[in-house]
Structure 1
Amino acid sequence: MNTDYFTRSKRLLSGIREDGRITFPQARGAEEDNELAEGEGKVKTKLLAMWYNMKYGLNVKMKTNFSRDSPVWLLGRCYHRKTDPCDEQLVSDEKEEGIESFKSDFMSRIWLTYRKEFPSLDGSNISSDCGWGCMLRSGQMLLAQALVSHFLGRGWRWDPNQRPSNEKQYRDAVNHRKIIKWFGDTPSQMSPLSIHTLVSLGEVSGKKPGDWYGPGSVAHLLKKAVDMATRETSDFEQLTVYVAQDCAVYLQDVIDQCEANGKGSWKSLILLIPVRLGAEKLNYIYAPCLTAMLSLDNCIGIIGGRPKHSLYFVGFQDDKLIHLDPHYCQEMVDVWKAEFPLSSFHCRSPRKLNLSKMDPSCCIGFYCQTKDDLEKFVQNVQTCLIPPHEKAEYPMFIFCSGRSRDVMSAPKFCIPDDSIRLADSVHDSEDDFESEEFEVV
């Protein structure tokens, strides 16, 4: 190895501070060798990856344990005992019993994390989203779950040890890989939902590669990305994304989008609702509402997290939210190679976060395949919108029967730009971090 390069690498290693910040030496001038600069950039990326994987314990295999006495919910499915959080009525469910079934369900969710060594983002030399792309990755996971529900169905499970043995299993395996390819870390149009696409769309709003996003901003980027994909490939023709405005869902606008093709056809709906449930901290009266949302069959998850740390929430047990964490930095996978490995796109270790530590700003996602699904969802979600024992004036969000342009004074709920709060920097407060496993009690 070049002696000068080795010396500079040591200087980089010495730049890791106790709080996790990494300081880098200044370039020596115009005579800096391009190859040396490129090597230095790779060292920076590797150091950040090592720091995140060590800090969050994501490079350690964790054993997952659960309370034997409480039901575990995962995107509308209940394991152990089934209790409806909306009315607290105990419901028997013989089909969804056992933690092994939960583990299979959890592992089948698509896990999208920090990646390194991907093609540089447009107009920059950034080849990793480590340290800034966590909310974008959380948004990708939310959208991926909607696509799994649309193309594979909520009951689909991924078994890494099983080879397709019939036509349906083969078709599901093809669609599984196709969905992951759409999120491939490449600027190619064949991956229309890639981080490259999302960053490019963010530039229209003044964002630059390496900037952070809030959940509301990501919701709008996902809509734009799907709209673009619809024009590029027929796979998205029967899908549409609607983003709520100021916590209000205008049902006629939704119907207009879903019936855009005319001739009595209906596009399946991905409904994204950004909300803010408190000022600096989560207003805990909404905790039952959040868990109730995750118990609904239509729910595809919640993106948010804790301050400065985005997460993708998919379920809960008691007062702990089950989540997928995007902060594990992995090598880029070339998803356009035949039989590319799938293991890095699925997580085997569920983690949890206490509801009280959740940031108040988040975005809730729902998927409605048909018009009938939408009507049932609008009816079923009503009892989950208002905190128990609270007045009806404070629902999480509302439905309006008309179009947004026809409403002169819709209820206003402020959703400020919270990008800095949610994914601010690499130096999270250690007091906020919780890597606790499920405990057997």
Structure 2
Amino acid sequence: PAAPGSRPICGQTEPAAVQEDEGRLASYELFLEDFSSRLWFTYRREFPPIPGTDITSDCGWGCMLRSSQMMLAQAVVTHVLGRHWRYRRGQTEASDFVHRTVVRWFGDRTADASPFSLHKLVQMGHESGKQAGDWYGPSSAAYILKEALEGACQTEQLLFDLRIYVAQDCTIYLEDVRALCRGTRSNGAPVWRSLIILVPVRLGGEQLNTTYIPCVKGMLSHPNCIGVIGGRPRHSLYFLGWQGEKVIYLDPHYVQEAVDVGPQDFPLDSFHCSWPRKMSFYKMDPSCTMGFYCKTEDEFERFVKDVKQLAVPTESRHEYPVFLVSEGSCADHTDTSETDGAGFAHILQGPRESLDHRHSEEYIIL
């Protein structure tokens, strides 16, 4: 994890404690510039009705989907603009166009040009038995994001070389990932597709097991991390950094007017937040999904090496790791198998299982 006093945001750290006051001010300004460049999706009102309903606002029920949109957006922005891109500073005509394209993908409408809209995500939930207004847990949301991105990468040129993997049994199966990401170009040359990894976990029973706080800090500090979504019904948050014993988050529980993202110059400011919020790690709900983005195969291999260590609690080595990384394929394991002698009772979830089953949010209790 980063040094005490620092503020890691999705794997990047701006030092908070330096010798000179001017240095501290400059550091905080850099932190704010980074924070305010993350995309912020909140409750909206007066958007076009969700098909088949008269619902024109997600206030009170859409927070997990909004948190999920924010985590996916962090991966997408990193993929198409790079992790060092900043809103406002050095914005070129080209980067402004891409920025608006990304925001448009999440616009509140039914258009095909918005594959990650609330309307589209609700539609995917509806196909699996969920209704607009229902609560989505972090595991359910991960599978909805998977379905949404798998569709978008077939139609959006900027996303052609991006894939998404949702870990099952709290385990990343390396054979499955490599099969997903490896391919061949038309000229026969091998290619590796960039990857989003989502890992649904449960870090305790009714409350967060504090043994795992250093693990969460380590994950949020890792350069491949795109954040954590979690929470309880009607109170989901997007965690993207930490400082001291507090976790930094973006809050979707703020009602704003819907923005028509159709015009070329639609306003952007309501999609960015300038005021960071923090809460104690001890108040985090244990039910969450961790997200990571790896652009290249080398990045993925380094990520695998790192998280094998980061996932293990440092203060209590006899505790289960946050999640596992395993050679082989998920298909090779059964619901009674054990992985690497860790003693996990696996809960197998097929990649196309119904949302009704996913909604039960069954996890291995750590």
What range is the shorter-chain TM-score in? 0.7 to 0.9
In structure 2, stretches of 5+ residues that fail to align are 18-22, 339-343, 350-356, 362-366
Measure, in 2, the Cα distance between the counterparts of 1:377 and 1:144.
20
Label 1:202 to 1:413 Cα distance change in 2 as closer, same or farther (>3 A). Answer: same
> How do residues 165-176 of structure 1 correspond to structure 2 at under 5 angstroms?
169-176=92-99
- Any idea what SS the aligned residue of 2:192 has? coil
Question: Given the alignment of the two structures, is residue 332 of structure 1 paired with residue 258 of structure 2, yes or no?
Answer: yes
**What's the TM-score, normalizing by structure 1?**
0.72
- Return the offset for 1:294: 0.5
Label 1:368 to 1:346 Cα distance change in 2 as closer, same or farther (>3 A). Answer: same
Question: Given the alignment of the two structures, is residue 224 of structure 1 paired with residue 157 of structure 2, yes or no?
Answer: no
Name 2:137's counterpart in structure 1: 214
Label 1:373 to 1:127 Cα distance change in 2 as closer, same or farther (>3 A). Answer: same
> How do residues 152-191 of structure 1 correspond to structure 2 at under 5 angstroms?
152-159=81-88, 164=91, 169-191=92-114
One-letter code aligned to 1:289? C
Label 1:138 to 1:343 Cα distance change in 2 as closer, same or farther (>3 A). Answer: same
Label 1:417 to 1:253 Cα distance change in 2 as closer, same or farther (>3 A). Answer: closer
Q: Deviations over 1:332-359 (max 9, x none)?
A: 1111112111100000000011111110
Q: Check whether the contact 2:16–2:28 (CA below 8 A) recurs between aligned residues.
A: no
Name 1:76's counterpart in structure 2: 11
One-letter code aligned to 1:364? M
Measure, in 2, the Cα distance between the counterparts of 1:296 and 1:141.
18
Q: Out of 191, 202, 213, which is 1:276 matched to? A: 202
Label 1:372 to 1:195 Cα distance change in 2 as closer, same or farther (>3 A). Answer: same
The count of residues paired between Structure 1 and Structure 2 equals 336
Q: Percent identity?
A: 49
Name 1:100's counterpart in structure 2: 29
Q: Check whether the contact 1:386–1:392 (CA below 8 A) recurs between aligned residues.
A: no
Measure, in 2, the Cα distance between the counterparts of 1:364 and 1:163.
31
Name 2:278's counterpart in structure 1: 352
> How do residues 20-419 of structure 1 correspond to structure 2 at under 5 angstroms?
70-80=5-15, 98-159=27-88, 164=91, 169-260=92-183, 263-305=189-231, 308-392=234-318, 394-408=320-334, 409-410=337-338, 411-412=344-345
Label 1:163 to 1:154 Cα distance change in 2 as closer, same or farther (>3 A). Answer: closer
Measure, in 1, the Cα distance between the counterparts of 2:234 and 2:32.
28
Measure, in 1, the Cα distance between the counterparts of 2:268 and 2:360.
31
- Return the offset for 1:259: 1.4
Measure, in 2, the Cα distance between the counterparts of 1:212 and 1:187.
20
Q: Check whether the contact 2:313–2:319 (CA below 8 A) recurs between aligned residues.
A: no
In structure 1, stretches of 5+ residues that fail to align are 1-68, 83-93, 421-441
Tell me which structure has the larger Cα radius of gyration. 1
Measure, in 2, the Cα distance between the counterparts of 1:134 and 1:145.
17
- Return the offset for 1:232: 2.3
Deviates more, 1:304-313 or 1:213-222: 304-313
Question: Which of structure 1's runs of 4+ aligned residues deviate more than 6 A?
Answer: none
Measure, in 1, the Cα distance between the counterparts of 2:45 and 2:214.
38
- Any idea what SS the aligned residue of 1:288 has? helix
Measure, in 2, the Cα distance between the counterparts of 1:379 and 1:163.
35
Label 1:273 to 1:97 Cα distance change in 2 as closer, same or farther (>3 A). Answer: farther
Q: Check whether the contact 2:174–2:326 (CA below 8 A) recurs between aligned residues.
A: yes
Measure, in 2, the Cα distance between the counterparts of 1:73 and 1:225.
29
Measure, in 2, the Cα distance between the counterparts of 1:107 and 1:163.
14
Q: Check whether the contact 2:229–2:237 (CA below 8 A) recurs between aligned residues.
A: yes
Q: Check whether the contact 2:63–2:234 (CA below 8 A) recurs between aligned residues.
A: no
Measure, in 1, the Cα distance between the counterparts of 2:26 and 2:66.
31
